[in-house]
Structure 1
Amino acid sequence: MDKQAMTDALVSAKAAKGLTWETMASDIGVSPVWLASACLGMNSSPADTAKKITDYLELGEDVAKALEAFPTKIWDQAVPTDPLIYRLYEVVGVYGETLKEVIQEKFGDGIMSAIDFSMEVDKVEDPKGDRVLLTLNGKFLPYKTW
């Protein structure tokens, strides 16, 4: 089973059971963001966690093995048209250079890891309209000289 077929099976089972990533993650004992990413094929899962996920969704060993497989992290390079994803591209397009400047001013010449990394998505209630709070937490990796 490839990652796309795995994702189709996982997302279909999740929908059929009326589950949310939050509920599943809480029951399985993982982060909802990590769980969604693994189920969408962008991260691999340890074997024990893959079994928990597939047992929870009543899916077979073929799905568990696909969850364990190392992904090839490729995404569409075109600017997305989905409004939410487009807005994230817009944030990086407008503030990317600013973030780079501020991060490098605080830490030095380097990058934020997307490997030693975690992310949270929270809802902040506000009388003027609820807010989305994204927390990106990545280890700083300085560039070396040699």
Structure 2
Amino acid sequence: MDKLEMRHTLLAAKARKQLSWEAIGSAVGMSPVWVASACYGMNSASHEVAHKLCDVLGVDSEAADALKAFPTKAWDEAIPQDPFVYRLYEVVGVYGETLKDVVQEKFGDGIMSAIDFTMEVDKVEDPKGDRVLLTLSGKFLPYKSW
């Protein structure tokens, strides 16, 4: 089973069992955001987590083998059409250089790691309409001079 077939298998099992990412993450002892990313094929899981995840979703060990495989992190370079994904793309397009400049003023010349990284998604209730709170936390990696 490759990552794409694994993705379809796991997402179908999630829908069939009517489980939330929060419930799945809690059952396997991992962040719901990370678990979703692994199920979408963008992260690899340890042997233990892969098998727990397959048990929770009721799928066979072929999916666990695919979960353990190292991913090729690639995405379609076309502008996303899904409104939610497009808005994130728009945020980076509009604010990317600004964020880079502000981070570099505070930390120096470098980047934020997407490897030593965590992300949380929270709902903030607001009388004017609930808000989405995305918290991205990546280790700062300074560029080296040699």
Letter in 2 for 1:23: A
The answer to whether structure 1 residue 129 and structure 2 residue 129 are counterparts is: yes
Identity of aligned residues (%): 68
- Map of 2:111 onto structure 1: 111
Structure 2, unpaired ranges of 5+? none
- Map of 1:7 onto structure 2: 7
TM-score (norm 1): 0.99
1:112-137 per-position Cα deviation (integer Å, ceiling 9, x unaligned):
00000000000000000000000000
The answer to whether structure 1 residue 120 and structure 2 residue 120 are counterparts is: yes
1:65-90 per-position Cα deviation (integer Å, ceiling 9, x unaligned):
00000000010001101000000011
- Map of 1:49 onto structure 2: 49
Q: Runs of at least 4 residues of structure 1 off by over 4 A?
A: none
SS at match of 2:26: helix
SS at match of 1:139: strand
Structure 1, unpaired ranges of 5+? none
What is the CA–CA distance in structure 1 between the aligned matches of 2:33 and 2:92, rounded to whole Å? 20
- Map of 2:16 onto structure 1: 16
| Shift of residue 58, structure 1, vs aligned partner | 1.2
| Shift of residue 26, structure 1, vs aligned partner | 1.1
| Shift of residue 57, structure 1, vs aligned partner | 1.0
SS at match of 2:139: strand
Q: What is the RMSD computed on CA atoms of the aligned residues?
A: 0.5
SS at match of 2:122: strand
| Shift of residue 63, structure 1, vs aligned partner | 0.3
Letter in 1 for 2:13: A
Letter in 2 for 1:102: V
TM-score (norm 2): 0.99
Letter in 1 for 2:76: D
What is the CA–CA distance in structure 1 between the aligned matches of 2:7 and 2:37, rounded to whole Å? 10
